[in-house]
Amino acid sequence: MTDMDFQALEKEAREAIQQAHKADDLEALKVKYLGKKGSITALLKQVSQVPPPERPVFGQKVNQLKHLVQSLITEQQTKLAGDPDHDPGFDPTLDGIKPAVGSLHPITRTIREICVIFSRLGFDTVDGREIETEFYNFTALNIPLDHPSRDAFDTFYTPQGYLLRSQTSTVQVREMKRRKPPLRILAPGRVYRPDAVDASHSFMFHQIEGLMVDQKTNFADLKGVIHLFLKQLFGEKLKMRFRPHFFPFTEPSVEVDIKWGERWLEVLGAGQVNPMVFKYAGYPPRRYQGFAFGLGIERIVMLRYGIKDIRLLFENDQRFLEQFR
């Protein structure tokens, strides 16, 4: 192998590589020169047979050639990849792939909207527990031992004697034990009831509890706050009515209906906190006054968006959820 031979091989390789315009052709050249049976590989194998005095120079030349051909091939590969005419697999004029953008579930969105309305009235949002004791779910709310809602048909009990809360009213005494009035809290969250699932029932749904307690927080305050809230949520023109009702933990109690088309629809329960509840919270008798209310979220979401079946809200079907962007 003379110097001339080296130069000829280098020239040949260089030209071949520069003329290769497809990735496959380049790959073939790589095999031709550098593959197992490639010509440069063959030269490398000869190094040990060259007489010792010439060996270092010969070895160096073969190595230089090998590295040169390697870098020429890489260079040409890079050139082809960046050249749209030569790689039909890549079209830089096409649009990129748009990453899917998520959005808030309509229940989450409605909860947040309601929390914002009440935050402007000074209400803090607090968290409750989904696994509760009979005390906070019933006893502290003045619900008698023989009340039907305590039955296993109406509440999920755990074998350890806990239960899945059936209403967010559990946060009332929990929070009142934690802090002293003045108190303005809002507590959204899940509640559970063993109802058969159909278009309007689910074994799990969401409620928001509100509680305001101070030295003088009377029924007029209750009406004013609820009035303001419902109008902000459903619009200034909304018509509503307060209907007498009964809850063991409020006295007097009301249910509030809103006018929806021709019909009146119940949207929330409310009332003045029963002194028995203050007693369970450990507050001194006759010191405080306040009101509480509770509303179901699914009901409101379904009304606002015209959703006819509650199950749609829990199936996580993207085709349904995508509408709420």
Annotated binding-site ranges:
251
Residue type, 7: Q
Q: How far is the CB of 291 from ligand PHE (least distance, A)?
A: 8
Q: To the nearest whole angstrom, how small is the minimum distance from the Cβ of residue 220 to ligand PHE? A: 17
Q: What is the C-alpha to C-alpha distance for residues 31 and 38, in angstroms, rounded to an integer?
A: 6
In the complex, which residue's CB is closest to ligand PHE?
294
Q: Which residues are annotated as a binding site for Mg(2+)?
A: 251
The DSSP line for 44-86 is HHHGGGS-GGGHHHHHHHHHHHHHHHHHHHHHHHHHHHH-TTT
Least CB distance to ligand PHE at residue 218 (A): 15
Residue 147 Cβ vs ligand PHE, minimum distance, rounded to whole Å: 13
Which regions of the chain does DSSP assign to beta strands (E)? 124-125, 131-132, 163-164, 183-192, 204-214, 240-247, 250-260, 263-273, 289-296
* 3 state SS of 245: strand
d(CA 115, CA 128): 15
In this complex, which beta carbon is closest to ligand PHE, that of residue 69 or of residue 310? 310
Peptide bond between residue 148 and the one before it cis (omega within 30 degrees of 0): no
Phi, then psi, of 304 in degrees rounded to 5 = -65, -40
* Alpha carbons 223 and 273: distance in angstroms, whole number: 14
CB 283 within 8 A of CB 176: yes
What's 210's DSSP letter? Answer: E
Closest to ligand PHE by CB, 26 vs 114, is: 114
Q: Which is nearer to ligand PHE, 278 or 293 (CB)?
A: 293
Nearer CB in complex with ligand PHE: 192/293: 293
Q: Whole-number minimum distance, CB 261 to ligand PHE, in Å?
A: 24
Residue 33 or residue 293: which is nearer to ligand PHE going by CB?
293
79 contacts: CB under 8 Å, gap ≥ 6: none
Q: How far is the CB of 132 from ligand PHE (least distance, A)?
A: 13
Measured from the CB atom, is 43 or 277 closer to ligand PHE?
277
Applying CB under 6 A, which residues contact ligand PHE? 167, 169, 247, 250, 269-271, 292-294
| Residue 169 or 217 with smaller CB distance to ligand PHE | 169
With beta carbons less than 8 A apart as the criterion, state whether 270 and 276 touch. no
